[in-house]
Structure 1
Amino acid sequence: MTLPTHLLSTTVVGSYPQPDWLVDRAMLSKSVPRTRMQAMWRLPPAHLEEAQDDATIVAIRDMERAGIDIVTDGEIRRESYSNRLATALDGIDADNPAVIVSRAGLETPVPRVVGKIRRNHPVELRDMEFLRKNTDRAAKITLPGPFTMSQQAKDEYYRDDAALAMAFAEAVNAEARDLEKAGADVIQLDEPWVRNNPELARRIAVEAINRALEGLTVPTIVHLCFGYAAVVPGSTKPSGYSFLAELADTTAEQISIEAAQPRLDLGVLKDLAPKKIMLGVLDLGDSEIETVSVVSERIRNGLKHVGADRLVIAPDCGMKYMPRATAFGKLKSMCEAAAHVRNELS
């Protein structure tokens, strides 16, 4: 499948709301799980995969109807953006988790690294194959980035930050290569934790990201954000990134940033030249569906700093925690706004 050739193509960051008949959304809303949360699923194992397939088709069709150019599978089969891959690797004990306490005092169960990290089988391969079979549009698949995975686990084996991140990078790279072979047109790494620990990220993140992307020939993206709007209130989000310009040294073609909710000063984009920018123009902390004119103005603001040939339009973050009708309405406004501004440029 070829990528769209028109300016200001549209995509999603990754996730789309899972139906209430598939997941217990009240349980889901309480956390972003690092270990497995099997109790979240409403169906028994014998029927779960078929139900996830059906819900994935719903997500794909919603994205297509909204006008999205580069669709994903909505991450419908995942309990979180990262735990599906992380808990499937050798060397990880997710059944006997450790507890990490955040700077805010929040306790989160996380997998323990108890041996050499290895990926001995594909994890998201069927997800990608299913997506490829069920859309004729360009298709993107997302993976948790190696630095973020290293920060979401308790290291009891390597006892070395760089070694741990590189071990995850090798596993991610093996997965990404299989996803490319399965028909992925774009591969994205989610690396939100580079901003949580920028000092460590400056030492090891770029090398780990580049190892994870090594050998890929399709366009690649690194996504970073300030956290899901449903989990991290807008009032607590900073107005700028503590780790961003450093991503110019990655081999990724595009950098994806959250910009709408935090009202980011887009002057920072000059530090990422000549990367393409996947610009967040939907505020997912706002339950109201933005008008086309509001989103159009956010796109125009991006064009003040990035050429139209380097700008991809997207929501701020994954839409997993939103009501489905709201998510669809926001995507539709976004696609109409992109078309409107595109016409202004012609």
Structure 2
Amino acid sequence: MNKLPGLPLLPTTIVGSYPQPDWLIDREGLKSRLPPRVRARELWRVPEPWLADAQEAATLMAISDQQLAGIDIVGDGEMRRESYSNRLATALDGIDIDTPGTAIDRTGARNPVPRVAGPIRRRGPIEAQDAKFLKERAGGWVKITLPGPFTMTQQAQNDHYPDDAALAMDYAAAVNAEIKDLFAAGVDIVQLDEPYLQARPEQARGYAVEAIDRALDGVGGITALHVCFGYAYVHKGAAKPRGYDFLAELDACKADIISIEAAQPRLDPAILAELPSKRIMYGVLDLNDPAIETPETVAGRIRAALPFIDKERLMIAPDCGMKYHPRDVAFGKLKAMVEGTRIVRAELGA
């Protein structure tokens, strides 16, 4: 497998979110609750008439920080979202916005979620305008994220479909249409976030790969799939597993890249052998630790992975989204990630 054209060996990227500024969103309010599955407009500090402009300004900040840090594949930092999933999940037909349902979160708590009251359908593009803005302002390689169909199914109350598998397939059809519009807008990589593959592996074995493949069918661009153990901030104090319960199954899915969390859980890099046909976006920043890694620490984590994967298939990233971190910490960690990657590139003669 060749390296991605126009990118260096071991290309660096963010997973998804970057810290939103305090002037844009109530960060303390965001931290005081589980990640919202339904809309949480009360979190925004900027009144509605000026909110879109404020979110655009914050997106420019996120782009600038990544470029200053030296990131190769830039994202929008999810500045316009209250959580990674709720913006798309609540924009679809079939969702009763006025009467949320409830579901058990992966932390074991009950959380308000979208209530599916009719057929899930996409009305029109949701993120395409934002994707166009990202590509125009960032230039170079850009990546944008969407919640995956399996995770959205697990984060919903199903009051319409005969079973969750049927619901997931209609979510997948909506996501598929959205992905095609994102590629048409100029995005280079579209990433599906599917943390519930790890949280609910038994259900995942029933229908997750089929739903993911439906979402990625015929999309005509490079796709990624992120699987993690949850935000470090949300799961603070809880030990993370040392391995994935649902990973080898993903080697058969249509995604080109699998993004995994490795630094905080001290993942055994030998697990990379379970994904021989995929590029791997490998997490090298421990987001449970507020201390900024040294470049040498990052380099050591990359070196540990290289015996188990061809260097051309390896991409470098944080473990997960960075939205709960102070901006200076997040920026420092990204800069250390880039510098540590450069150390290893030099050792590899790249």
Distance in 2, Cα, partners of 1:167 & 1:228: 27
The answer as to whether partners of 2:55 and 2:80 remain within 8 angstroms in 1 is yes
* From 309, 329, 336, the counterpart of 2:332: 329
The AA in structure 1 aligned to 2:73 is: I
Describe the shift of the 1:275–1:103 C-alpha distance in structure 2 as closer, same or farther (beyond 3 A): closer
Distance in 2, Cα, partners of 1:103 & 1:191: 12
Shift of 1:235: 3.2
Q: Residue by residue, what CA displacement relative to the aligned partner does 1:176-213 show, whole Å, maximum 9, x if unpaired?
A: 00000000101100000011111110110001001101
Q: Identity over aligned residues, as a percent?
A: 58
Distance in 1, Cα, partners of 2:332 & 2:54: 24
The AA in structure 1 aligned to 2:198 is: R
Q: Residue by residue, what CA displacement relative to the aligned partner does 1:270-325 show, whole Å, maximum 9, x if unpaired?
A: 01002111000000010000000000000001112111100000000000111000
Describe the shift of the 1:186–1:91 C-alpha distance in structure 2 as closer, same or farther (beyond 3 A): same
The answer as to whether partners of 2:270 and 2:305 remain within 8 angstroms in 1 is no
The answer as to whether partners of 2:19 and 2:324 remain within 8 angstroms in 1 is yes
Query: TM-score w.r.t. structure 2 length?
Result: 0.97
Query: TM-score w.r.t. structure 1 length?
Result: 0.98
Gaps of 5+ in 2: none
The answer as to whether partners of 2:102 and 2:156 remain within 8 angstroms in 1 is no
* From 217, 225, 228, the counterpart of 1:225: 228
* From 21, 24, 38, the counterpart of 2:23: 21
Residue 319, structure 1, aligned to residue 322, structure 2: yes
Runs of 4+ in structure 1 off by over 4 angstroms are 102-105
Distance in 2, Cα, partners of 1:234 & 1:340: 32
The answer as to whether partners of 1:233 and 1:285 remain within 8 angstroms in 2 is yes
Alignment correspondent of 2:283: 280
Describe the shift of the 1:74–1:272 C-alpha distance in structure 2 as closer, same or farther (beyond 3 A): same
Residue 236, structure 1, aligned to residue 239, structure 2: yes
Shift of 1:159: 2.8
Alignment correspondent of 2:11: 9
Residue 211, structure 1, aligned to residue 214, structure 2: yes
Residue 78, structure 1, aligned to residue 70, structure 2: no
Q: Residue by residue, what CA displacement relative to the aligned partner does 1:60-89 show, whole Å, maximum 9, x if unpaired?
A: 000000000000111000000000000000
Distance in 2, Cα, partners of 1:326 & 1:156: 42
* From 302, 306, 328, the counterpart of 1:303: 306
Shift of 1:105: 4.2
* From 131, 134, 138, the counterpart of 2:137: 134
Distance in 2, Cα, partners of 1:95 & 1:273: 45
The answer as to whether partners of 1:290 and 1:333 remain within 8 angstroms in 2 is yes
Distance in 1, Cα, partners of 2:195 & 2:223: 16
Q: What RMSD, in angstroms, separates the aligned Cα atoms of the two structures?
A: 1.1
Alignment correspondent of 2:182: 179
Aligned length, in residue pairs: 345
The answer as to whether partners of 2:131 and 2:186 remain within 8 angstroms in 1 is yes
* From 245, 259, 262, the counterpart of 1:259: 262
Distance in 2, Cα, partners of 1:203 & 1:193: 13
Residue 196, structure 1, aligned to residue 195, structure 2: no
The answer as to whether partners of 1:234 and 1:261 remain within 8 angstroms in 2 is no
